[in-house]
């Protein structure tokens, strides 16, 4: 089965751009309510995923004394300075559900890109699990 019907499109997904400052990124991440969200470049190509932990560790590394952490100090670095490239690999839009399952074991969502690496959306782990549960129940002749 093609994954296209499971994609939450980009317009419905919270994401950041890699040229945002750490302060801007933190504020948007906080408003999103998620612990990790995708990061895109200026051409909307997928760059990676950034998490609360990535922000925390970078802030701690950059500010030896926590007393010196201010909103202004977080405006001197961009997300490019803290993102861990390659940590969360995206899948292509033509990936099948079985391949997607392996990717979803490590994260709450899987980023989806087109053949130019342009971000098109995400598929949540919850939707992947629901698909496989339904598939198992259908194979067993159970009605949902």
What domains can be seen in the chain, in order of their start residue?
3-139 (3.10.580.10)
Per-residue pLDDT tens digits for 56-71? 887 777 666 555 666 6
Q: Please compute the mean of the pLDDT values over residues 79-99 and round it to a whole number.
A: 86
User: Once rounded to an integer, what is the mean pLDDT over residues 90-111?
Assistant: 86
Q: Which of the two residues, 138 and 143, has the higher pLDDT score? A: 138
Say how far residue 142 (Cα) sits from the centre of its chain. 34
What are 3-43's pLDDT values in tens digits?
888 999 999 999 999 999 988 999 999 999 999 999 999 99
């Amino acid at each position: 089965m093609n994954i296209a019907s499971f994609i939450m499109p980009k317009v419905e997904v919270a994401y950041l751009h890699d040229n945002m400052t750490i302060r801007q990124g933190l504020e948007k991440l906080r408003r999103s309510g998620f612990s990790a969200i995708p990061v895109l470049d200026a051409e909307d190509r997928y760059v990676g995923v950034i998490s609360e932990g990535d922000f925390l560790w970078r802030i701690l590394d950059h500010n030896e004394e926590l007393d010196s952490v201010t909103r202004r100090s977080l405006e001197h670095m961009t997300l490019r300075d803290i993102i861990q490239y390659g940590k969360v690999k995206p899948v292509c839009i033509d990936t099948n559900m079985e391949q997607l399952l392996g990717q979803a074991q490590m994260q709450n969502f899987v980023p989806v890109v087109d053949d130019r690496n342009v971000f098109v959306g995400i598929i949540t782990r919850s939707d992947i699990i629901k698909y496989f549960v339904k598939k198992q129940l259908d194979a067993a002749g159970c009605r949902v």
